[in-house]
Structure 1
Amino acid sequence: MKSAAVRPVTRPDFARTGVGAVRASTWRVGTPERQRAAVEAVNAAWQSRDWPAAALLSYTVLAGTDGDTLFHYSQWADEAAYEEFFRTARDDRNAEVDAAVPGIVRVGLDGYRPYRSVGAADATPGCVVVVEARFDPGAADAARGFVDLVLEAQATDPAPAPGLLSGNFHLSADGTRMLNYAEWEGERDHVAALAGPGPGVGSDTAQWHRVLDFPALASNGFRRYVPALTLVPRP
């Protein structure tokens, strides 16, 4: 295995400047054993090659607490850099992973841009809750308005959910999709927050009910993950 200009870190840097594009995708692998094998294969495929482009700022893999899914999150300087990686460097890495763990189902790939982040800039999460929402196509700027409302509800919550470390909100270019990469101290904290008296993870306030009743919201769901791998280029 040759030396590669790659190093592991704890998490993506959501406070960094220069992130112009984000890619998020989900793989289904079937079992916890195959999850672990797939993460090991991804790490090997990346560590055995040079970092593909200076414009790739970080690459993260999360392992689903469902024992089935892997979530991939990458930060890019711009869309063109990702397209070049997709054209020239993605397939050989995936082929190596597929050889080690046959039968991976790649569910989808979505593009986003960072919008707003709140909370600890140096968090060490034990759980990441990936929240995805879709909005009516005809509702202009609905995703942005929804995120602003969520952050207002959080800021005015009289009893914020314990264990929530950060929220990192992303919007699609067309404004119809939102992704929140929410960092929690642990899975139990998120479970406890959902069991509270209010809608979702918030208190029973008017602001949180406005979030729940947001008129242009077409669908909203989440999956829980644990951090598995984050790689960045070696300085």
Structure 2
Amino acid sequence: MRSGIESALGPVSTAAAVFGCWQVGTPQRQHVVAEAIADAWRGRPWPGPGLRSYAVLAADDGTTLLHFSQVDDLDDVPAQDLTWKQQVDAAVPGIERTGVTAGVLRRSTPAYGPAAEAACAVLVTRIFDGPDAERANRLVDAMFESSAGTPPAKGLLSAHFYVSPDGTKVFNYALWISADAHRQAIEKRPAELEANAQWQRVHAYPGLLSTSFQRFRPLLRLAPTTRS
């Protein structure tokens, strides 16, 4: 089984995911590194059926690459031949790998549109002051409850909330029709939502240290294929 290569964002379809970030320096190097990854994976056997897809996305800061791997089970992630990273490093020296965090899918919104229409992914990262998976799960549930009466933002296609196994991080990986649609949603957030006391409590949740987000555009998506 080989890997099929494309550049579009795919749907979220697994119970868990692994997020990793690389710092590569410039917008040009973002593209060069993605091309090197595609070359390194091309022709290699797919790691295993538990890895459903692997995507590389470029942040709008011009230096960050997000690696988003969809897996069926964090306790059974397929082993990889990691020599592909050595091949990438040889092609593009100077990559800084800044960490990997896994997450279990807690909740997803309905699909408001097809993932194939997405040109932007937004990753919101919430960090707590210590491990507590139950607390992190409650935060996700509270976020859904606080926005239950508010229509989805224009341009939002879907949003998926992951909790790290130790509960120190909550990720919201959301697909948008465009980066501009996300900007507009932030600038024109409904007044009734911001005035909602439950929504305000969610954003000042006990133990929540920080909330940050980055916008990404798709560069590379790999998925298994039976083609030789």
Q: TM-score, normalised by structure 1?
A: 0.85
Q: CA deviation at 1:138?
A: 6.0
Equivalent of 2:32 in 37, 61, 64 = 37
Deviation sequence 1:35-74 (CA, Å, 0-9, x none): 0001111111111311122221111111111111100011
CA distance in 1, matches of 2:23, 2:146: 33
Q: Please say if residues 30 and 68 of structure 1, whose CA atoms lie closer than 8 Å, have aligned partners that are also in contact.
A: yes
**2:5 aligned partner:** 8
Equivalent of 2:175 in 183, 194, 201 = 183
Structure 2: runs of 5+ lacking an equivalent:
none
Question: What is the root-mean-square deviation in Å for CA atoms of aligned residues?
Answer: 2.2
Q: Please say if residues 42 and 97 of structure 1, whose CA atoms lie closer than 8 Å, have aligned partners that are also in contact.
A: yes
Count residues in correspondence.
222
**2:220 aligned partner:** 229
CA distance in 1, matches of 2:70, 2:132: 27
**2:60 aligned partner:** 65
Equivalent of 1:52 in 47, 56, 60 = 47
**CA spacing shift, 1:156–1:140, aligned 2, 3 Å:** same
**Counterpart AA for 1:148:** D
CA distance in 1, matches of 2:5, 2:102: 24
Structure 1: runs of 5+ lacking an equivalent:
none
Q: In structure 2, the residue corresponding to 1:36 is in which secondary structure?
A: helix
**Counterpart AA for 2:164:** S
CA distance in 2, matches of 1:204, 1:196: 14
**Counterpart AA for 1:191:** R
CA distance in 1, matches of 2:102, 2:161: 13
CA distance in 1, matches of 2:131, 2:218: 36
Q: CA deviation at 1:197?
A: 5.1
**Counterpart AA for 1:137:** G
**2:207 aligned partner:** 216
**Counterpart AA for 2:17:** V
**1:111 aligned partner:** 102
CA distance in 1, matches of 2:145, 2:212: 20
| 1:151 equivalent in alignment to 2:144 | yes
**1:166 aligned partner:** 158
Q: CA deviation at 1:27?
A: 0.5
**1:136 aligned partner:** 129
Q: TM-score, normalised by structure 2?
A: 0.88
Runs of 4+ aligned structure 1 residues displaced above 4 Å come to none
